[in-house]
Chain A
């Protein structure tokens, strides 16, 4: 994780607000860490369901038949890169460079968007060859697990746009710095989840 509480307090010390906002921003980051741990359990339950059901293909499409190695490798590289650019955006924030921040965050959101685009086209292709979520328990679990991650990424993109708007309007201050820190945590978390998706769903699926 590129960002920690300590980094944030560094920003806050340089920030404009005084008094209680310092405590409040720190509280929110702490609260968000706990939220992420609940989200982790959420994914853990979906992973468990997938692992229980993945062999139940009901004589329909199997993982080997529908997973496209090239496609999911591209998705992986795009998402990992976006995590790196998100880290660069946070770095720019720490140095107080608003231009750099916006540039890197825009690149992150665009990479996120192309990830979602690839995933949607993967799903469309699957459905086209008859691999729908109504076909078998394996496919129900696959679409739900991967789709839930994709939904998280989509929400993250909207969230980043809202934060870019706020930073353009108000500059880097304690509040916007905290918001960027939190969306950064969220984005890196989704990256970690994807590493498990890549391994458990895709790699174990084609092996």
Chain B
């Protein structure tokens, strides 16, 4: 059977050839290093087969930073193209691909892995658990995400990238209007990583509900744990809608069905609805966890307990419910009528209330506190004005009649970058700086971090404030160039300058990480509690041993670790020789990555419509699942003697 498409390094665009060559060179370099230093065994044993939540968390951080680079380069390409009128830096087709991959990558392959990194690294430590509920499934989640991201990223070197925006609206994405494999790459990449995300949601909901240390009642949980609980609930109930939207569009494209086509009774708006039934809750999936981060960072560096704990919990839960009830505000202009638009407009404004409660609580937490301006705190304080402005412009957009003016303009672009960068990225970076010592055993350098923060923060306002004005002046999104004389030129140039400042900020963050790694002996965290913080993970050494807690702690109140330190009884969380028993831990497994590779093969099969490849891939998926099912894997026990030995070596006994 002849395949529909052959993967080719498309177009004659020198930029794409450049990318092809650099990807080939980097891959060869990585392979060379692995062969030369004989690191294959190490890589396989320590990382590719790991089920340890701490290592999986680190893998997510690395993936998120790499993808932030890729998505950031896309952003800079767009800003370069728009810096002046009538530019010919990118062709229109290439510009379409760049804004599509920029959005897709930033939401699904930067924001999501940053969230999952937080979930993995912090949650088990914070609730006094030794791992997540389903460690094997956790590894599957990561590898499905990884191969989904890989599928999207190889698209522009073989076969062509998706080019219909990160929302991939029908009927533009139907085969009739968008032939070629680009949109198939998008559909399969999101489908693969979506399976992983759904599994992560289930995993962490069960982990938080069932694996907390004795005494940690729900209302004694740290607020990050509450935030992850709320986000997991949203993931579980939002992602199936995305699965369906993507699957039906794929069936349209591959099997010639008529869900979202113009003719034969199809209904394109059904795609838009299904997409945003996932898409709006998704915004809160990437925001609630960083709300949790801020609720940890503000108290820690204000030397006070969080203001209004119960209202923080209530607002998280309220947001997790209301987030499902306002999806149609993404398409007020659909013409659903005043009744529908009024409802969705009011619901969208209403969700600002619990969010506002949280902002006030964070500020009251700082009020009269003993504030220490560390790196995590700097990103957290930078977040507040960002989010207040983003919230205010959000309420403007929620007013349906007004939205007819702002819809699809640069005003909207500025708004959602304000909340997603100002919220999600600032929060992820605050979290990264905060828990970095817990992951790696050393803090990140303050001086270089400060330069990165200011470059980024100033660059952010310089980039996006002009875009609000451009939007009000009528510049719409997704146009690849504009004529002179519109009055847009200077503001666009300013916005591009800001974008490059942010790019410089990113380079400084990477430099900070490299510099600190080189100077890790000076920056070493010997206490395990470098910030004098409040929750249980800081009672452990940095990095924690493989089994986390030699003896599972008993919790009697909120901020247990902080209260113990205050009363001078921090030692009660140290293990004693007679309390240590053998510890049951899950075994590493190579099946999660193999399983995901087969799914990747299925994905490639659908992208190029090679049916034999799909069948081979699915057979592999099924075989791996059956092999796992009949395997007797009950984990292993770390003998008590070994645990004692390790705790002694860590200086804890």
Contacts and interface: CB of A to CB of B under 8 A. Distances in A.
Question: Are A and B bound to each other?
Answer: yes
B134 A144 contact: no
A121 interface: no
B172 interface: no
Contact of A53 (B206, B210, B270): B270
Contacts of A166: 629-630
A58 B265 contact: yes
B193 interface: no
A165 B626 CA distance: 11
Interface in B584-611: 584
A76 interface: no
A38 interface: yes
A136 B244 contact: no
Contact of B267 (A19, A38, A137, A159): A137
Contact of A31 (B134, B256, B635): B134
Interface in A74-117: none
B61 to A, nearest CB: 25
Contact of B257 (A133, A163, A179): A133
Nearest to A54: B265
B133 A27 contact: yes
B584 A20 contact: yes
A51 to B, nearest CB: 10
B396 to A, nearest CB: 31
Which one of B205, B240, B255, B622 has the highest number of Cβ atoms from chain A below 10 Å of its Cβ? B240
A200 interface: no
Contacts of B283: none
A52 B265 CA distance: 10
A38 B202 contact: yes
A31 B203 contact: yes
Nearest to A31: B206
Contact of A136 (B255, B265, B626): B265
Contacts of A37: 236-237
Given A31-B133, A42-B244, A144-B251, A137 B274 contact: no
A202 to B, nearest CB: 20
B584 A19 contact: yes
A38 B259 contact: no
Q: For the complex, would chain A's binding face be called helix, strand, loop or mixed by DSSP majority?
A: helix
Nearest to B199: A35
B241 A41 contact: yes
Contact of A34 (B202, B248, B261): B202
A199 interface: no
A27 to B, nearest CB: 5
Given A20-B584, A56-B265, A49 B630 contact: no
B291 interface: no
A151 to B, nearest CB: 11
Interface string B226-261: 000000000011011101110010011001111101
A9 interface: no
A28 interface: yes
B236 A38 contact: yes
Interface residues of A, number: 43
B640 to A, nearest CB: 14
A11 interface: no
Interface string B252-294: 1001111101011111001000100100000000000000000
Interface residues of B, number: 43
Contacts of B257: 133-134, 140, 143-144
A19 B581 CA distance: 12
Given A27-B134, A31-B206, A49 B270 contact: yes
B567 interface: no
B259 A41 contact: no
Contacts of B241: 41, 45
B521 interface: no
Contacts of B244: 42, 45-46, 49
Contacts of B209: 30
Interface in A10-42: 17, 19-21, 26-28, 30-31, 34-35, 37-39, 41-42
Given A49-B270, A144-B251, A137 B258 contact: yes
- Which residue, of B198, B237, B259, has the highest number of chain A Cβ atoms within 10 A? B259
Given A20-B584, A162-B626, A133 B255 contact: yes
Interface string B622-634: 1000100110101
Contacts of B237: 37-38, 41
Contacts of A175: 632, 634
A134 B175 CA distance: 13
A63 to B, nearest CB: 13
Contacts of B198: 38
Nearest to B233: A34
A166 B632 CA distance: 10
Most interface-central of B202, B205, B236, B243 (chain A CB within 10 A): B202
A163 B625 CA distance: 12
A8 interface: no
A14 B255 CA distance: 51
B202 A162 contact: no
B267 A56 contact: yes
A52 B258 CA distance: 13
Nearest to B232: A34
A138 B261 CA distance: 12
Given A53-B259, A58-B265, A144-B248, A21 B202 contact: no
B87 to A, nearest CB: 42
Nearest to B133: A27
A138 B265 CA distance: 7
A135 interface: yes
B270 A42 contact: no
Contacts of B256: 133-134
14 contacts: A31-B134, A34-B205, A38-B198, A38-B236, A45-B277, A49-B244, A49-B259, A56-B265, A137-B264, A140-B258, A143-B257, A144-B259, A162-B629, A179-B629
Given A140-B252, A140-B266, A144-B259, 14 more contacts: A20-B635, A27-B133, A28-B134, A38-B237, A42-B240, A44-B240, A49-B259, A53-B265, A53-B270, A133-B251, A134-B256, A136-B264, A144-B257, A158-B626
**6 closest pairs, A vs B, by CB?**
A56-B265, A137-B265, A140-B257, A41-B240, A45-B244, A42-B240
